[in-house]
Amino acid sequence: MPTLATQVDGLSLPNPFIIGSGPPGTNLNVITKAFKEGWGAVIAKTVSLDSSKVVNVTPRYAKLLAGSGEVIGWENIELISDRPFKIWEEEFKKCKDQFPAGVLIASVMEEYRQDAWIEIIQRCEAAGVDGFELNFSCPHGLPERKMGAAMGQDPEILQEVCGWVKSAATKPFWAKMTPNITHIEDPSRAALRGGATGLSALNTIRSVMGVNLDTLRPEPTVEGYTTPGGYSGKAVKPIALRMVMEIATLIRTEFPGRSLSGLGGIESGHDAAEFILLGSDTVQVCTGVMKHGYECVKPMCDELLAFMARHKFETLADFKGKSLDYFTTHADLVKRQGDRKAAQKAATTGKTLKSDAEWKGDEFVKQSDALSRS
Ligand SMILES: Cc1cc2nc3c(=O)[nH]c(=O)nc-3n(C[C@H](O)[C@H](O)[C@H](O)COP(=O)(O)O)c2cc1C
């Protein structure tokens, strides 16, 4: 019988499905629901020390629908948690009292000040969390305060901040990367050099959902205006897989042993299998939970287990990163295709020559050559 249970950075998860930071982990009530439904771990909504600076607007979501009506893309201009940090500290404690074995990860974001990062890490640890995700990747609102993606896009700052966290944290911490950058390897390498236990990829992709052709206003429209937001859901999965592949290759070659949590558009066990095949240790789901509810973890687990049984994989480690071996350069693809076609042609030519009557003057050399191969 295959098992989904896994150990990552010293944390024991019953399965690799983690609630990604966002609305599905926005308070104790919903976090409790996630543990009850059997999620492998929960990453809470991102917290900061001073929530009074966080002011949300409505509407803050806009959706892209397929012809069938299914939501395939989701833009948000939501900020990090607007709830006071003191309340979060109490809720982290209560959550660990209720679910001592549940893996609770605090997502944290702070300004570019060492004392603030150290304080938030120490207070979350005192409240009992099992690990951290550092949000270096929120693409809207917070970058105006030089937070979130503004830090994640600057490898030097990223390395420095990870170093601060490393000096204060006794628990594992993952740096959550922004996709809004040309080469994801650069900030990834910086975070790992700074001491991050692992990486999470990816956060939302900076986007504009569309323009209303009646009002001529871009959406989501707030008081007639908008600001670019973050794109998530099914539509971002191919981009997420590419970045996960690049980060996993980096980890494999330069930082063996560091972990990777993959996310972006995961809604099924098969999606999860793809992220694991490209090097993820765990997978996170945010928009999928907003679409399908917390219960979706059960069919996801079943589908992943069925995939493992089909391939006779006993553990997640049996197939983690297995498909990374099939990436190469375009030039190598051309060579492989040329070699295969040449071999096929030779084989075909050889096979068709069944009697001496088939020898042809204009193919004579090729036919002779083919007959000399085994
Ligand atoms: C409404 C909404 C709010 C989000 N808030 C946060 C957040 O507070 N912190 C964070 O790190 N990521 C946040 N995210 C990003 C998600 O955690 C995730 O990185 C992204 O949406 C891609 O995964 P998905 O397609 O499974 O949603 C948010 C996403 C959405 C849709």
DSSP 7-32: EETTEEESSSEEEPSSGGGSSHHHHH
Question: For ligand 1, is residue 246 a contact (CB within 6 Å)?
Answer: no
Nearest CA to ligand 1 atom 3: 22
* Selected catalytic residue, list 95, 124, 138, 301: 138
296 given a catalytic annotation? no
Write out pLDDT tens, residues 145-194. 888 899 999 999 999 999 999 999 999 999 999 999 999 999 999 999 99
Q: Ligand 1: distance of its center to the CA of 21 in Å?
A: 6
- Decide if 249 contacts 215 (C-beta within 8 A): no
Cα–Cα distance for residue pair 176/159, rounded to 1 Å: 13
Q: What does the pLDDT read at residue 350?
A: 61
Q: Ligand 1: distance of its center to the CA of 206 in Å?
A: 12
Superfamily classification of domain 6-324: Aldolase class I (3.20.20.70)
Q: Ligand 1: distance of its center to the CA of 137 in Å?
A: 10
Nearest CA to ligand 1 atom 1: 76
Residue 111's pLDDT band (boundaries 50, 70, 90)?
very high
Q: Is the pLDDT of residue 370 over 90?
A: no
Average pLDDT of every residue of the chain: 96
Domain ranges within the chain, ordered by starting residue: 6-324, 330-371
Nearest CA to ligand 1 atom 23: 264
Question: For ligand 1, is residue 159 a contact (CB within 6 Å)?
Answer: no
Question: For ligand 1, is residue 152 a contact (CB within 6 Å)?
Answer: no
Residue 143's pLDDT band (boundaries 50, 70, 90)?
confident
Q: What is the pTM of this model?
A: 0.94
Q: Residues near 28 by Cβ (< 8 Å), separated by ≥ 6? A: 91, 94, 95
> What's the rounded mean pLDDT across residues 90-114?
97
Cα–Cα distance for residue pair 79/73, rounded to 1 Å: 18
- Decide if 162 contacts 196 (C-beta within 8 A): yes
Q: What does the pLDDT read at residue 283?
A: 99
Question: For ligand 1, is residue 135 a contact (CB within 6 Å)?
Answer: yes
Q: Residues near 325 by Cβ (< 8 Å), separated by ≥ 6? A: none
- Decide if 316 contacts 281 (C-beta within 8 A): yes
Residue 219 β-bridge partners? 210
